[in-house]
Amino acid sequence: MQASRTRIGWTEVDYQHMADRWTQQDRHNIRLALIGRIDTTAMLESATRAGIEQEIDATPRADLYHKDSIKYVTLARFGWKKVKVSYLTMKRYLRASRACVLILTLLATSSAYRSFQALIPNGSKVPDPCRPGSTWPAVGHVTPEGGSHRNKFGKHFKAFGKTWTKALCQMDSDEDGRSNGEELGDRNCSWTPGTPLSAGATSHPGICEPLDSPKCKQVNIMIKCRDNPRENWELAMCEHIAKNSTFSLEVTLTPTPVPAEETVYTCQIIDLDLDLNAGADFHMVATQPVIKATEVVHHILLFGCKPGASVKQELKSPHRCAMAPDPACRDLIGAWTLGSPGECAHPDMGFRMGVKGYRTVALQVHWNNPRRLSGLTDCSGMKIHLTPDLRKYDAGMLVVGQRFMQIPNPDVQGPKQTEFSAVCPSHCTQQMFKTPIYITSAVNHMHYLGRHQSIKLYRNNTVDRVITDQDNWSYDDPLIYNFKQAIKVSPGHEIRTVCTYKQPSTSNPVCWGEATSDEMCFGFLTYYPRQSLGHPWCVSMKKFPSCERHLPALGRRAFDGCHWWVFRNISHPETRQRIGSVLNLCFPDHTDKLVCSQKCRDIAQQIVSHPCLKGETGSYMIDWYKKADPITRTFLDAIFTCSCSDFDYCDRKYNGGLLGSKRDEFCSSNANFSFQESLLWSLIFVTYLTRL
């Protein structure tokens, strides 16, 4: 879906005759749409609930719309039984858009939080104090749709292990004088999951009521019951969004089926709907999530694409992708993860869009679907807020962290917690930074095994400044570090990231990976000025930093004796010969059957001793080969199996299996054969000596 303007022209509205067909919220939606405060998908939902027939008028409104605008509508007239709206697209797109908006809204209301709703009394019937007659599905969050910070009841629910206990029941989380049990219809605190209750929920356990009382206004600091609950975030945390000059775009996926798979990355490259005729530039000053398939959306990233870069047309439709959506779109400019209400830029900076900035962006939505739900459709994305009043500096985002980990299970002897670290070394920052940069905010990122994460600046091996230091990590409730006084990072500083994890309960180790059942260790650092940092990534694979591979100023240097740029280039004659030898000797007669003959074993053992498959570069090179091509993965499987060498479990694991899965079977049988052969020769030798 193309991103489109929210701030458009609206004609006079008369809906006084529609009072019997519109709810109070529907009328609020119309008022908000008139002043550009919400997008018109909410208005369309209101029209649908009212049962109004919609007529399509494709007459262009050149004075109000950019020619590519295809989502937002101009309300022309309300009558008794019809609404006339102006579109710049045909009816087929309207059907697709409304299908995603309306169906997913119903899904979010009815099933998005079903697993948690079932763990508390009347969990699916908790009233919404902001909208009488409606329910608040995400009972533990400050917004009814979730994807936001926890309210006080949500924090207490988590502290009790997400279990309804007598102690939690007797608490008064929202401090309104009524216990949680009383508000949820379990006065005696005797309810157990799966049993019916004769009494219904009378009020919300996480929102103090009455809302207008002085005490409740203080308690509900993040829940100032507005027409749009998320609007409170805009006003309380990001005041400059409300300025008249600020407008917003929604950058969302075209409605797309969600596969019934555990983890999928979906990307779409989108041309921004900006008026570039006047040569204007804008600053993006805030982002908010637009979450539709709430059951599966894990995180959303927004990347800026280099101006003038060539992008394949097929990438402008939703498609599967890796961590980076496209080589031309690697500048991370926005990030959302579960629990975050959005991002608000430091007053001195913004991400530049327009003639001298990004005109095209890449949206990446990560679906995490461990239950492998089917039949879902998604059109999630981000709402970005822009202003023509340019700030002093252009903003950027630096990513640091570790790309390899292997967290042992409890059966392995050792400490109960495992620590991994990553270093962006001083010789890299010396080349990366043209001038000092200034960090305005930082966010840690791990998954559910994470316990502690820190990001620190070092100078001459001494801590210079702590950027983040977060104990009691919670994946569902991330902490955003905002710095009014920006943190200065100079060329020559060293950035160290440390992540600590508890032991998993799984039988196998937990590896770095994209699913929430895997783990990550990243830090996202927002900074200015963007122009000071040409390559905003500095992550490590074990101790092999990415800056060693990407900074031209450092040249191509061997790392631990490995000429990595040759070894990973499968078109290089030396590399092609190495791979060809394994395929010819280990797969005789050009079949797909692996045969560990003596010649195959010899070549496999020779290759695994290569410097590029050992030490700190080994994991990086193995990871590259696992993802590069099916042939390189077959090559790895052959040498892992037939060399009988030991490799880390997480080196062998890939999305779909385990490399060298037949290694133990072959190597143990090969060892037995060698023992029997040795015993036979010993007997022959003893017999020979006896005869002498």
361-384 tens-digit pLDDT:
999 999 988 888 899 999 999 999
pLDDT of residue 225: 57
Q: Are the beta carbons of 68 and 2 closer than 8 angstroms?
A: yes
Distance CA 524, CA 397 (A): 7
Fold of 396-546: Jelly Rolls (2.60.120)
User: At 339, is the pLDDT very low, low, confident or very high (cuts 50, 70, 90)?
Assistant: low
Which range among 136-140, 265-269, 338-342, 438-442 shows the weakest confidence by mean pLDDT? 338-342
**Which distant-in-sequence residues (6+ apart) come within 8 Å of 681 by Cβ?**
none
pLDDT of residue 500: 96
User: At 83, is the pLDDT very low, low, confident or very high (cuts 50, 70, 90)?
Assistant: very low
Query: What are the two backbone dihedrals, phi and then psi, of residue 562, each rounded to the nearest 5 degrees?
Result: -105, 120
**Which distant-in-sequence residues (6+ apart) come within 8 Å of 558 by Cβ?**
564
Between 204 and 231, whose confidence is greater?
204
pLDDT of residue 414: 63
Query: Which residue is listed with tokens 């000059």?
Result: 245
Which range among 237-246, 484-493, 521-530, 543-552 shows the weakest confidence by mean pLDDT? 237-246
Average pLDDT over residues 633-638: 92
Highest mean pLDDT among 46-55, 183-192, 295-304, 542-551: 183-192
56-79 tens-digit pLDDT:
233 332 233 333 332 232 232 223
% residues pLDDT > 90 (the chain): 38
Residue 51 has pLDDT above 50, yes or no: no
Highest mean pLDDT among 7-16, 63-72, 144-153, 488-497: 488-497
- Return the bridge partners of 332, or none: 303
- Burial letters 121-151, b for 16+ CB under 10 A, else e: bbbbebbbbbbeeebbbbbbbbbbbbbbbbb
3-state secondary structure 68-83: CCCCCCEEEEECCCEE
Q: Are the beta carbons of 611 and 617 closer than 8 angstroms?
A: yes
Distance CA 70, CA 65 (A): 9
Distance CA 461, CA 219 (A): 45
pLDDT of residue 179: 95
Domain map of the chain by residue range?
A: 4-89, 113-238, 243-394, 396-546, 564-661
CATH number of 243-394: 2.60.120.310
pLDDT of residue 635: 93
pLDDT of residue 227: 47
% residues pLDDT > 70 (the chain): 75
Q: Are the beta carbons of 173 and 158 closer than 8 angstroms?
A: no
Q: Tell me which amino acid residue 365 is.
A: V
User: At 621, is the pLDDT very low, low, confident or very high (cuts 50, 70, 90)?
Assistant: very high
Q: Cis peptide before 347, with omega less than 30 degrees from 0?
A: no
- Burial letters 306-332, b for 16+ CB under 10 A, else e: beeeebeeebbebeebeebbbebbbbb
Which range among 16-20, 383-387, 623-627 shows the weakest confidence by mean pLDDT? 16-20
User: At 214, is the pLDDT very low, low, confident or very high (cuts 50, 70, 90)?
Assistant: confident
CB-based burial of residue 279 (10 Å sphere; 0-12 exposed, 13-18 middle, 19+ buried)? exposed
pLDDT of residue 669: 55
Distance CA 184, CA 45 (A): 29
Cα 148 → chain centroid: 14
Q: Are the beta carbons of 387 and 285 closer than 8 angstroms?
A: yes
CB atoms within 10 A of CB 49: 14
pLDDT of residue 513: 86
Query: Which residue is listed with tokens 């502690």?
Result: 452
Nearest to 635 by CA among 670, 669, 591, 584: 584
Which structure tokens are listed for 657?
């299996």
Which range among 76-80, 255-259, 681-685 shows the weakest confidence by mean pLDDT? 76-80
Between 556 and 286, whose confidence is greater?
286
pLDDT of residue 499: 97
Q: Cis peptide before 210, with omega less than 30 degrees from 0?
A: yes
pLDDT of residue 324: 67
Cα 25 → chain centroid: 31
pLDDT of residue 329: 87
Between 175 and 2, whose confidence is greater?
175
Q: Tell me which amino acid residue 587 is.
A: F
Which structure tokens are listed for 502?
């508890």
Average pLDDT over residues 139-146: 81
pLDDT of residue 556: 79
User: At 622, is the pLDDT very low, low, confident or very high (cuts 50, 70, 90)?
Assistant: very high
**Which distant-in-sequence residues (6+ apart) come within 8 Å of 674 by Cβ?**
none
Average pLDDT over residues 102-108: 39
Query: What are the two backbone dihedrals, phi and then psi, of residue 110, each rounded to the nearest 5 degrees?
Result: -90, -25
Q: How many angstroms separate the Cα of 586 from the Cα of each of 297, 570, 636, 648? A: 43, 18, 12, 23
Q: Tell me which amino acid residue 556 is.
A: R
User: At 124, is the pLDDT very low, low, confident or very high (cuts 50, 70, 90)?
Assistant: confident
Average pLDDT over residues 163-172: 95
Q: Are the beta carbons of 196 and 162 closer than 8 angstroms?
A: no
pLDDT of residue 166: 94
pLDDT of residue 411: 67
pLDDT of residue 5: 36
Which range among 157-171, 229-243, 560-574 shows the weakest confidence by mean pLDDT? 229-243
Residue 675 has pLDDT above 60, yes or no: no
- The structure's pTM equals 0.64
Average pLDDT over residues 245-270: 92
Query: Which residue is listed with tokens 């926005």?
Result: 334
Residue 15 has pLDDT above 50, yes or no: no
Query: Chain-wide mean pLDDT for the chain?
Result: 77
Between 145 and 229, whose confidence is greater?
145
User: At 110, is the pLDDT very low, low, confident or very high (cuts 50, 70, 90)?
Assistant: very low
pLDDT of residue 27: 47
Nearest to 94 by CA among 1, 233, 223: 1
Between 115 and 296, whose confidence is greater?
296
Same fold yes or no, 243-394 and 396-546: yes
Average pLDDT over residues 333-353: 85
Q: Are the beta carbons of 402 and 420 closer than 8 angstroms?
A: yes
CB atoms within 10 A of CB 245: 11
Cα 184 → chain centroid: 33
